[in-house]
Amino acid sequence: MERGKRTVTEMAVVGVIASAIGIAAALLINWFPASASKQAGPIDQLWDVLLIVSVPVFVLVTVIVLYSVKLFRVRPGQELMDGPPVHGNTRLEVIWTTIPALIIASLVVYAYLVLHDIEKAPAAANAEMHVKVTGRQFTWYFEYEDTKVAGKPIRSAQLYVPEGKSVKFDVVSEDVLHDFWVPNWRMKIDAVPGITTHYRVTPDKVGSYPVVCAELCGLGHAFMRQTANVLPQAEFDAWLTKQQQAAQKAATS
Amino acid sequence: MPQVLRSPGLGRGGVYTLLGIAFSFGLSVLTRWLYHYDDVIDGDSVTRIAMLAAPLFFLVGLGAFSYWFYWASGKPTLPEDHSAHGAKSWKDYFRINTDHKVIGIQYTVHSFVFLFIGGLMAMLMRAELAAPGRQFVDANTFNGLFSVHASLLIFLFIIPVFAGLANFVIPLMIGAPDMAFPRLNALSFWMLPCAGVLMLASFFAPGGSFASGWTAYAPLSTSAPLGQDMFTIGVQFAGASSIATALNFLVTIITMRAPGMSFFRMPLLVWANFSTSLLVVIATPFIAASQFFVLLDRALHFRFFDASLGGDVLMYQHVFWFYSHPAVYIMMLPGFGIVSEVLAARARKPIFGYRMMAFSLLAIVALGFTVWAHHMFVSGMQTWIRVPMMVTTAIIAVPTGIKIFSWLATLWRGVIHLDTPMLFALGFLTMFTLGGISGVILAMIPIDIHVSDTYFIVAHIHYVLFGGSLFTIFAGVYYWFPKMTGRMYDEKLGRAHFWMTFIFFNLTFAPMHLIGVQGMPRRVADYSEQFAGWNLMISISSWVLGLATLIFLYNMVASWRGGPRASSNPWRSLTIEWQVSSPPPVFNFDSLPTVVGGPYEYGVPGAVHAVFKDSETPAVVATAGATPAGGGDH
């Protein structure tokens, strides 16, 4: 019995050390592409929490498997022996039902709060910009619904958005399913024929980021890439004005 | 006409296949002529009808329906003289056979053929993905490769190989002379090659093979070239096979248990297949429906999924996942059963918490039907349904956790024999835990939004279906190999197979988690430069992983042909299949067993699971603690 207790203590120590190393390693890995939206923060943080919870679970299972093999592997002379006829232990079974349930429950609540946070609309409705995103085999185009010339929204082949302002994307498809994804923003949604889907992000870092189609859409799926350009507000306004003038010129000529 | 083309068999099956094609041609031309089409001959139309008709004609020619035709037409049915039972030469595996043991081997070997074909496709894909840019295949072929790879491995490997192992083992385990419906059993098997040939033949279709993924999302699938129909119709045959087998298992398990075999004396493999069969009979009709919708859209211009004409694109995904999520459990629960058998017998201990193990299977069956929309968090469906689906998905971790912990407790203080089945069972325990963990991570909606449709999903599904299902399949094949063939496999080669598979499985699939989160989408023939290093490493590892399967293949073939004779019970197991000779007699039992106790009473002095009336002493006596058992070890 004394020896058994010592073994369990040893396993616990090994488990804690392995978990600590595992968590440290998992957190040091550079998992995500550079964050470029307000939404990315809470998502990346949720990821870290999930890693911290996951590593000990895996370590627990692995340590028990390895120690079982080490301690109870058949020794010479034991070839025809059996283990003790233990059929169960209600207390243990209650423990390993309840604890995972509690962990799961708290993760679910936390994930719900993050979801609520990242999908929240800005307090003032006019603080938000609308961009219509259209997918078709095998390209995207973007329309600025708030800026119309002759009743038509400004249209662009590349995506330009201002820094620091909430943007609501209305996503549609002209043919098959596509998926509008900017990995640096962390958000994605399918473009579905027949309906309009939405998500919002607040880009918070100036730069150019890939727009990726994430839903298999046929031959050119792998090459359905464009660029999302996040500009400082002033530069964005200048870009928009230029587009407006070009559109006006096209409309009048 | 020579006899071989007139009597039931593959020869006549071939002739009838040609008849089926001729029939399809006639039907198509006649219909088009009646509807005043300009061109009465249309290749696509003929081919589509032939895809449905030719396999049915083939099955008739093969003799799968002979008995029922005789009966329905009032002719005297062939007296069941049992001459079709057993297999005397390899040729007997290539005809209709109603012996569950023959069918079990047919199923298993047939499935492994498709594992090798599907695996080769994976290695070809990895060759293309070894570096950015185009290497060997164009985008259309690449899309076809991953679509056919997944379809074959799901519908023609994992699901049927479990059905095959269970076919062989379950009647023996519950003390039944055969399955409840032997002729239906034979028909179920022979529908599979029809599905497999259809899916493979799609590579020869104009426009290439089906290339919209195994998920075949509309409207990509409804607008794809002819090859798509070979998936759509192939799935119908595979699905019908699955449903018929599941009904067969349910009836067999419910009505044909030996005296004394109460539900709570059934081995957990029987429980697992009982649960799986429940899932199959309820869920599989949904994928059949989803594919019929697609077929009707494609062939007859229905408008189920044409949004411009009032169709509903999202409906496809709901119907599809209502099957395809439970399908994940269809592909995992039988593996849980195998692991329970192997762990109890090779750790020499009763399964810890047997009843909870059975109940958790049923809990997974019930919960499995409440989570399908977690595949659709970014699909654009109504947003409120996401949170309830996240909760139910995460809850499945609880019954699954119960199973993992109970297996660990079974190991603890056992007498562990670390042979090949056990190694694969332990490999499963650790790797499936990882797959389960990434499953919980994926259930969290904010994370799923970022990683869905990325390589993270590819990693997760392979940890579940390779590290999970395939490891249990290997464990099961090694474990029952002596019973199925009467020969022993080579233990050294088995261990080499395990270690090579285990190591290179991880090197192949673990990095996919990372590149997925970093932003590499799945199902792409090309990728951005930043992922080049990891992809090269993944490709090289995957080829070594493929090579590891050759060790397995050699071991199986060589051992079956010339391995040492196996004793009736090399593992000293208590379950009934090990109490008969290896391979078992044609009708399984010379005298029917009576079950007198639980299936895993290892360590209980003098405990037996079943006794045979005629034999005075049971074949194996389990013994406790330090006293050696009375023999039976090889």
Q: Is residue A26 part of a domain?
A: yes
- The answer for residues whose C-beta is within 8 angstroms of residue A169's C-beta and 6 or more apart is A131, A132, A133, A180, A189, A198, A199, A200, A201
Give the pLDDT of residue B621. 45
Q: Distances in Å between the alpha carbon of A57 and those of A8, B129, B430, B567, B625?
A: 17, 33, 10, 40, 32
Measured at the CA of B555, the angle between CA B550 and CA B558, to 5 degrees, comes to: 115
- Sequence-ordered list of residues with C-beta below 8 angstroms from that of A244, at least 6 positions apart, any chain: A147, A149, A154
Q: Is the dihedral of CA A92, A93, A95, A99 positive or negative?
A: positive
Question: Residue A246 maps to which CATH number?
Answer: 2.60.40.420
Q: Enumerate residues 6+ apart whose C-beta is below 8 A from A148.
A: A154
Confidence band, pLDDT 50/70/90 cuts, at residue A228 = very high
Task: Report if residue A19 sits inside a domain.
Answer: yes
Contact list in A for residue B396 (CB cut-off 8 A) is none
> B120-134: b or e for each residue (b if 16 or more CB lie within 10 Å)?
ebbebbbebbbeeee
How large is the ipTM? 0.96
Please tell me the distance from the alpha carbon of residue B145 to that of residue B213, in angstroms, as a whole number: 9
Region A230-246 average pLDDT: 95
- Count CB atoms within 10 A of the CB of residue B627: 11
**Same domain, yes or no, for A134 and A205?**
yes
In terms of residue numbers, what domain contains A164? Answer: 125-252
Q: Which of A82, A96, A192 lies closest to B623 in CB terms?
A: A82
Identify the CA nearest to B318 among candidates B368, B397, B373, B245: B373
What mean pLDDT comes out for the span A182-210? Answer: 96
Could you check whether the bond before residue B237 is cis, i.e. omega within 30 degrees of 0?
A: no
Q: What is the pLDDT of residues B220-268, one digit of tens each?
A: 999 999 999 999 999 999 999 999 999 999 999 999 999 999 999 999 9
B45-83: burial string, b at 16+ Cβ within 10 Å, e else: bbbbbbbbbbbbbbbbbbbbbbbeeeeeeeeeeeeeeee
* Contact state of B220 with A217 under an 8 Å Cβ cutoff: yes
Q: What is the pLDDT of residue A198?
A: 96
Q: Are A248 and A149 part of one and the same domain?
A: yes
Task: Give the H/E segment covering residue B611.
Answer: strand B610-612
Task: Print burial letters for B509-546: b (CB count within 10 Å at least 16), e (below 16).
Answer: bebbbbbbbbbbbbbbbbbeeebeebbeebbebbbebb
pLDDT at B4 over 80: no
Query: A226-238 in b/e burial notation, b at 16+ Cβ within 10 A?
Result: bebbbbeeeebee
pLDDT for residue A134 is more than 50: yes
- Kindly report the length of chain A: 253
Digit-coded pLDDT (tens) for B6-64: 888 999 999 999 999 999 999 999 999 999 999 999 999 999 999 999 999 999 999 99
DSSP letters spanning chain A: -HHHHHHHHHHHHHHHHHHHHHHHHHHHS--SPPP-BTTHHHHHHHHHHHHHHHHHHHHHHHHHHHHHHHHHBPPTT-TT---------HHHHHHHHHHHHHHHHHHHHHHHHHHHHHHPPPSSGGGEEEEEEEEETTEEEEEEEEEEETTEEEEESSEEEETTSEEEEEEEESSS-EEEE-GGG--EEEE-TTS-EEEEE-B-S-EEEEEEE-S--STTGGG-EEEEEEE-HHHHHHHHHHHHHHHHHHHH-
| A62 in the same domain as A147 | no
- The 10 Å CB-count burial string (b at 16+, else e) for B325-342 is bbbbbbbbbbbbbbbbbb
Of A73, A82, A184, the CB nearest to B418: A73
Q: Which of A112, A189, A210 sits opposite B380 (nearest CB)?
A: A189
Do A100 and A188 have their domain in common? no
Question: By CA distance, what is B380's nearest residue in A?
Answer: A197
Contacts of B208 (CB under 8 A, 6+ apart): B140, B141, B144, B202, B225, B227
Q: Are the beta carbons of B380 and A213 separated by less than 8 Å?
A: no
A41 near B CB under 8 A: no
Residue A82 domain flag: no
Question: Mean pLDDT score of chain B, rounded to an integer?
Answer: 93
Return the ∠ at Cα B35 (arms to B34 and B41), rounded to 5°: 80
Contact B143, A221 (CB under 8 A): yes
Report residue A180 as tokens: 């509008």
Q: In a 10 Å sphere around its CB, with 0-12 CB exposed, 13-18 middle and 19+ buried, how is residue B634 labelled?
A: middle
The answer to whether B418 and B486 are in contact (CB under 8 A) is no
Torsion sign, CA atoms B376, B379, B385, B387: positive
| Beta carbons of B345 and B603 less than 8 angstroms apart | no
- Ranges B79-88, B213-222, B597-606: which has the least confidence: B79-88
Q: What is the pTM of this model?
A: 0.94
Reply yes or no on whether the pLDDT at B80 is more than 70.
Answer: no
**Residue A18 class from Cβ within 10 Å (0-12 exposed, 13-18 middle, 19+ buried)?**
middle
Residue B617 pLDDT exceeds 80? no
Are A110 and A187 in a shared domain?
no
| pLDDT, position A75 | 93
| Rounded-to-integer distance, Cα B381 and Cα B364, Å | 25
Give how many domains chain A has, as a whole number.
2
Picking from A47, A78, A177, the nearest residue to B447 by CB comes out as A47
Is residue A211 included in any domain, yes or no?
yes
Both A151 and A235 in a single domain?
Answer: yes
What's the average model confidence in pLDDT over B423-438?
97
Identify whether A78 is part of a domain: no
Residue B590 confidence class, pLDDT cut points 50, 70, 90 = confident
Q: How confident is the model at residue B79 (pLDDT cuts 50, 70, 90)?
A: low
Q: State whether the Cα torsion B342-B344-B348-B352 is positive or negative.
A: positive
* Residues whose CB is less than 8 angstroms from the CB of residue A19 and which lie 6 or more positions away in sequence, other chains included: A55, A56, A59
Task: Enumerate residues 6+ apart whose C-beta is below 8 A from B352.
Answer: A86, A87, A88, A89, B406, B407, B409, B410
Which pLDDT value is given to residue A86? Answer: 92
Chain B residue whose CA is closest to A67: B412
Q: With contacts defined as CB-CB under 8 Å, which chain A residues touch B426?
A: 65, 69
A187 and B450 in contact by Cβ < 8 A? yes
Within an 8 Å CB–CB cutoff, is residue B72 touching chain A? Answer: no
pLDDT digits (tens, 9 = 90+) for B360-392: 999 999 999 999 999 999 999 999 999 999 999
> Are residues A198 and A175 both part of a single domain?
yes
| Shared domain check, A27 and A6 | yes
Residue A79, in any domain of the structure: no
Q: What is the pLDDT of residue A3?
A: 72
Q: Where is B424: in which H helix or E strand?
A: helix B420-443
Report if residue A85 sits inside a domain: no
A225-231 and A159-162: which strand pairing?
parallel
- Assess whether A138 and A241 both reside in one domain: yes
Structural domain contains residue A16:
yes
Give pLDDT, residue B627: 38
Query: Long-range contacts: A154-159, Cβ < 8 Å, 24+?
Result: A154/A240, A154/A243, A154/A244, A154/A247, A155/A247, A156/A243, A157/A226, A158/A226, A158/A227, A158/A228, A158/A229, A159/A131, A159/A133, A159/A211, A159/A226, A159/A227, A159/A228, A159/A229
Least confident of A30-34, A79-83, B171-175, B569-573: A79-83
Contact B449 A186 (CB under 8 A): yes
Examine the domain organization and report whether A210 and A104 are in the same domain.
Answer: no
Residues A130, A109 within the same domain: no
Quick one: which of B406, B494, B410, B571 has its CA closest to A68? B410
Q: What confidence category does residue B540 fall into, taking pLDDT thresholds of 50, 70 and 90?
A: very high
Strands A188-191 and A178-181: antiparallel
Torsion of CA B580, B585, B588, B590, to 10 degrees: -80
Question: What pLDDT is attached to residue B83?
Answer: 62
Interface of B with A in 567-596 (CB under 8 A): 572
How many Å separate Cα B264 from the centre of its chain?
Answer: 26
The verdict on A169 and A236 lying in the same domain is yes
Share of chain B above pLDDT 70, in %: 96
Chain B closest CA to A14's CA: distance in Å? 17
Tell me, what amino acid is at B616? E
